[in-house]
Every structure is written in structure tokens, then in C-alpha cells.
Chains A and B, each alone.
Chain A
Amino acid sequence: MTLYLVSGFIFIATFAAILLGKVNRTIVAMAGAGVMVAVGMGMGFYSQEAALASIDFNTLGLLLGMMILVSMLARTGFFEYLAILTAKKSKGSPWVLFLLLGTITAVLSMFLDNVTTIVLIAPVTVLIAEILGISPLPLLIGEALLSDTGGVATLIGDPPNIMIGSAAGLSFMDFIVNLAPIVLVAWVVALVLLRFLFREYLSQTPGNVEALMKLDERAALHDTATLTRTLIVLGVTILLFFVHNLLHLQPGFVALLGAAAALLWVQPADIEEVLKHVEWPVLMFFAALFVTVGGIEASGLLNLLADGVTALATQDLLLTGVALIWGGAMISAIVDNIPFTIVMIPVIQDLGLSTGLNVTPLWWALALGAGFGGNGTIIGSTANVITVAISEKTSTPITSRIWMKTGLPVMLATLLVATILFVLGFNFLQ
């Protein structure tokens, strides 16, 4: 009992400090992990070996490999090129611009890191809106929401999916087959809803279309040799993801193999620069959370939680899934979907082991809840946080009020779609 209380207290304190946000979340998580291991060793429920074993290196490897590939691609100006090319296709129509920029951001973030995609596309979006003389705000919000939503469709689209896939042994194709159809419907619903919410803005007729058409996307590209090689390697890597299960390759290995191949082929002169753009704080945050959650798992506290869910799950698995979608979304919107996902993974695993139930639908429910929940608030996803930070450097910053009127309805609508399709397709999702 004391073990539950002590480990639970360390975890809750870490979680609360992340929620408060006074200290950087990576620092909080590392401190929490350190305290958990030290106290766990002292009280005999956790060890250094167990702490290391609790880190999901497949998840970290996948993230690291993709971050290296994206870092190499980012330096070639490819994202700016793509954004300009896409924007020019709109011929200045705000609605088409909204649709195309939202789509390109969403498609990129289905396969690449959301953060990098937003960091590179959002500034070009501000540029395009400003030379057209329209507000960049709806475009930025649309990009963040649509890319968060799109990311739920694939194994590598967002970090919760990577973790779920890795822990549950679900393949890239499993995600495509089970989640992509739901996400596609949710995505269209989100788009229609945003069209309605931004109706006034999207019916403007901007001037200066000729200035947009004069943007020279080719001038945005710096190093076409690196671009070609990185794109080829990235393409092959993504193809490998589609068949990784057939080849018995872990996704983390596929990503690291891709990164190694791209580095070998391109041989960047400044490898330090390439690696500097890897989001090390994110990787450290994840690793530290794995260790912290490993502590409450080792103390038996998570078993207790799993036992609590068992009663509901054995009685009604469908209802458990729906509860997971909505509960997960609420927690993800308010805090962060990563800690929630890392806690729920061993709980669902335990549930499957102790009851012999097929818990696969619960994995999809977790992915849908954690993924769509991120749309609800400014801090719900990293893409949102970055979009808001970029908008704060413009004359029209995105406020919580604005997000409440756009992000929150989109979250509720996508969750509703997810719930309906989850219930209807429950037998298929097994």
C-alpha cells in the first residue's frame, strides 16, 4: 500500500508540474524519473535495470530516425517550395488556399514529424497571407487542426500512435486499415466545420494576387542534390513502413536505417547542424516519462488501475472503448497526450493479459482519443503550441478565446465521428 502511495505521489507530482508548465516539461520529467528510480531503489520496488528496460527504444528510434531525415530535408527548402507551389495553385482564393495549405500540411504530417512541418510551413503561410493582404490566422489554425487530425491516420503520424503501435505490436498497415478510414471522415467533417466557422473570412476577395503568383518557389530550394537523395531515401523508407511487418522489421529500425542511408548518401558537411535540429528535448521527455511510468508499473499501482477497468471491460468492451476515446481526449486536451498514452499502454496490456480479452479495439480508441483530443486546446498538441507561438510574432496572435471557438468545436466534431464509426465498425476493429 505504501508503495502505491509513494510511487503514485511521485507520478502525480510530475504530472501536475508538467500541467502547471512553470518549469520546462523535459526538465520536470527528467527530475521525476530520477526521483522515481532513486526512491524505487530505496524502497525496493524499482531498479536501474528495470528503469532502462521500461524505455521503449523502438519508439525513440523511430522518432530519432524520422527527425534526422526531416532535418536533412528541411535544410533544402523543400517545405517552403511545397507551400509556395500549393499556394499558387489557389490563385489567391482564400477558401482554396485554406483547403490546399491544410491538405498539404496534413499529408506531410501523416508521414513526417508534425512539429517540423508546422515550423516550416507556418511562416510561409504568414508571408502568403500578408502579401495577399488577408489575415493569416484562419490559415494557421486550419493547418494545426488539420495536421493534428491527419496525423492520427498512420503509425508514424503522431507520437501516441508510434507508442501504441510499438507496445501493441500493431503494424503500419494495421493503422492504415483501421484508423485511416475513420480519420478520413473526421478530416472531411473538420474541414466542412472550419469552412463554416471561418465563412466570413473565406469569402473575402484578396487583392495582390499577382504578387502571390510572382513568388518564385524554385528560389526557395537550396541544394537540389541533397533534396533528390533525401527524398528518394525518405520514399523508400515510407515504402518499407508499409511492409515492415512482412519483413519482420521493427518501425524504429526502418527509420534509423533510412536515416543512416540518407546520411551516407548525402554525407552532409556539417553533421552537427543536421543533428542539432533533432528535437532532443522531446526524445528526453519521452524517455524520462517511460522511466517515471515504469515506476508506477513496477510498484503495482498500474495493475490496480487495470483491475478497476477490468470490471467495465469484461462487461462491455464497446463502452470501455467509447469511454477511452472521450476520457483520453479530455485529458489530452488539458494536459498532454503523451503522459496519458504512456500510462494507458501498460493498463490496456495488463487488461488483455489478465482477462484474455481481445483488447485491439481499445488500442484504436486510445489512438483516436489521444489524437483528436489534441485539437481541443492551444496546449493540446505540440503543433498547436508552435502555431500559436508563430502567430504571436504577427499582428494577429491566436488567443485561447479564438481557439475555443474553432479548435474545441473541431475536437468535439471529430470525436463524435470517431465514436460513431467506432461503434458501427466495432466488429471490424477487433
Chain B
Amino acid sequence: MQISGAQMVIEALIAEEVEVVFGYPGGAIMNVYDEIYKQRSFQHILTRHEQAAVHAAEGYAKATGKVGVAMITSGPGFTNGVTGLADAYMDSIPLVLISGQVPMSLIGTDAFQEIDAVGISRPCTKHNYLVTDAADLPRILKEAFYIARTGRPGPVHVDIPKDVTAQIAKFDYSKEVELETYKPTTKGNTRQIKKAIDAIAASKRPLLYLGGGIINANAAELVREFSKMTQIPAVETFMARGTLRYDDPLLISMLGMHGSYAANMAMSETDLVIGLGARFDDRVTGKLSEFAKNAQIIHVDIDPASISKLVNAHFPIVGDVKNVLEQMIPLAQEQIDPKRYESWHNTIANFNKLHPLSYKEEGDRLKPQWVVERIGQLLGDGANISTDVGQHQMWTAQFYPFTRPRQWVSSGGLGTMGFGFPAALGVKRADMERVSINITGDGSILMNIQELMTAVEYKLPVINVILNNNFLGMVRQWQTLFYDKRHSSTDLSMQPDFVKLAEAFGGVGYRVNTKEEFDAALKDAVEKNVVAIIDVVVNRFENVLPMVPAGGSLFNMMLEYKEK
């Protein structure tokens, strides 16, 4: 079949069973957009900013487990998308970004809307390509999807010069892809697994340390089976929320900088860490030399470079966590006595009793944590939850009653403000049955507010709940705690009328001061089924607690803050 490069892009997307592309057109990508116009196989959603297109594709990918696809033009179109690439790279999200480039003959001449796109995307993608011949395009697109979704998933960027999209060549899209230099290990080493099981059976205070790799590998069911069978307690990283149900008696809570006291104490007291798809991030470990000091470490990860990068693993197991668990479960059934850890359970129960995750209701203002809990009570499993970045994000991770994997979509590694709303659009597109909530802050929401238009046009009724404290709250919190209350450039008292703003785009808006108003607003927004902003006035000076100050030890938490 002899077709143009632009047609090849369409054919490849169809062959990959892509159902939606998030994008924004421009000069260099016009040939491809012309072919998008002519086809009916997939939907194209026009976001109102390229960054939002990539975040929406991320949200879609996180909610479905499929490869998200975004399409943008050269130059500023591309550079706007880079934040999304970096975000997807840090959080291992499978993504293919297709960008236009100036024609081959103009590359290197500082042409209009020219930028060295692959030069920029190299450090923030799993792999990238500049296509120089349409004959290479089918192979490159096939490889791009394959690389994005296999091994440790990640974003792949394909940059296509305009003349290449016009060039006619043979389209031969192979079913299989074989890369000589890329063969991810998926099965765990049997001997290492046996040793790890022996270590678990011999341990007295083992702890499952669950990471986002479990969600990527679709291994949450197996984790639930493994923990139930062995009765080993678990802590989750921020990225792993939803692996275990919130009410699972074995789930302690999230660990790390804003983890619970019990989770961090369990990590400090355990004699065997069983790390599954987690990467010992600095926000999790605190001071490395004090992290899980009394423990041996089992580390299961698909990425060999993540093992012993920061914390030395005594039992390194490279492999897909799902496959490794399948190998572990029969051995665990034989060897591990679930009654063995009872006194360890008591220790943890005491930690929980001593300092449970909590907040105090006081004064007239709503507490932000109450809002998060209330959304959970009213919608629970019926909602998918996205967030932006800051205090609201941590409160959501702490207090939302997560019941399943892929319910939780948030920017963990890069910490991208402006991620939440477009990501929630992608989540809604992936799961129209459930309510898509973006819990956000009065700072973050303005970073991609233009997506109200996308939400209205494509009938993607995301409900944005602003925990509005008139502050860039997390930075304000650090300024209060570590900068002697010098609130430099964090006061956001100057604000738009969010209700009118939502209405101006054709959505609905609510300003909420009380619990009753909140319940009514959420109920109404769900019923109206259009994009909404619920602007909730919350206590201005609430802090995210407990907290391990940056560089501190997990067992040395700030549990409360008293005004001096």
C-alpha cells in the first residue's frame, strides 16, 4: 500500500486501536490533521493548550492502562507539550507524542516555528525519534507504541517533518516488533525469589512497601491476594494509592513526607522491607542513612536501574511485579505462616492508636480534609479522583477512601501544577460511567483553566473542587515552618470569581462556605452533568500534617504545629 506519511500516522493509530487523540494543530502538523478530518475511526479532542493535550493523554493512559496519544505542532506547540512529557517520564506513564517539525530542507536554518524538538525531549522521554523518511514511519510508530507500553512504561516522542508527512511510501505495519537492543526482563529470577520467600518466612516484622509499578503492571489483585494469604501489613507510596482498599485491615496508610505516623514508624521498625514496584524516592525515604535501618530489603522492579540506586537491596529481583507475584504466591502458600506476625500487628495497631491521621474541626471555616472525606462518603467508588499539586493533593492522598487501582491520578514525580484538570478530562473520556473529580487548589486550577472550554465542547463534565485558602498553600506552609512566616509571593487573595468564570465558559459554578452548601453543590454538579467548579472556602492556615521535614528521618515526624 503506497500512501502518504500523514495517512500512515492515521493507519498506525487505527492499527494500535487508538480511540482518542488529544491535540492541537499548527503549521507543521497540518498534513496529519487533514487526514484526521477525513477519518471516523478515532476521536480527536481539541484541548485549548498543548500542555493540556499531553496531560489529558496521561490521564487517559493512567485510567485505562492503554497508551495515551497526543499530537501537537512544531516550535511553541512542542515546547508547550514538554512539561507533559517530563511528567509522564517521571511517573512511568505510557504515552506517544507525535509532533510536527519544519520540512527537512529547513531543519537547522532557524526556520519559522523550528526548534530542536528531539534535542529537548531526549532527557524527558523513554525514547524519541526524528523521522527522516516516510518509509521508516510504520516501523518507528510500531516501535514507539511498543516501547511506551512495555518494560517500565514511559513516553515516546515521534517528531515528523512536514515534507515527510507529504511523502508517499510503502505502508507495511507489522504485527510483531523485535528490537535487538531492547528486551525488558519480565520474569523474576527463580533462585532470587526462593531466597526472598525464605527471608520472609524467617522475618518477624515484614512490611510490604507498595509502589506505583503495581498499578502499571495491573498487579493490584495479586498484591491483595498475597497480603491476605501471608497477613503481612502494607504501606503504600503516593503513586500506589488504591492498590489495597482503604478499609483493608492490613493497609497501614501512605508513608513518606506526609505519610501517617504508623506507616513511617512501621518502616522504621520493620526487619524486612518487601518493595514491590517502588523506587525509594526521596519524598518516601527521608534521610537515607536512617531509612528502614533495621531491615533487609527485597526489591522487585522491572527497571534494573531502580534497584540499589538509593537503598542497597539484599534480594534484588528484576521483573514485572505481576509475574514475580505469580511466582511468589505458591511458594508463600507453602512456607509462610500467617500467624507468625501477630505481635507485629499489635505493634502497628499501637502506632495507629498513638497518632492516627486526623484533623480538628474548629472555627467557622470548613477544613479541607473534611471536604476530601466528604467527597469520599458521597461518591466513594463511584468517582475517579485526579488532583493538582500542593496541599490539596496531600490531603486527598491521605484522606480519600480509595477502593481500586486506577482510581487515583496525580502528578507524583514531577509535581506539575496544572496537571489535574486536563488529566481529569482524559480520565472522564476513559470512564464515562463514573464521576471525574479534580481536587485542586486556588493556585493550581488557574494553570490550565482554559480547559473549561474543552470540557464543555466535548461534554466531559469534570467537577473541579477548589480547596480555596487564598494561598499557594504548600509553599506558604514551608514559609511558615522554615522561613519564619515570610510569606513571599504566596498570598493569592487576588482571585477571579470562579463561579462566573465557570459560567462564562458554559459550565456551572458554586461558592461554598458550609457543609450543607458543599453537599448541595456536589449533588447538583453531579446531576447537571456539565463541567463544574465548586469553590470551597477553607481554613486559610491549615497545614498538611504529619510531616517529615525534607532530609529528616521518617521516625522523627512533626505531628502538630502550634502558632508561636
The answer to whether A and B belong to the same complex is no
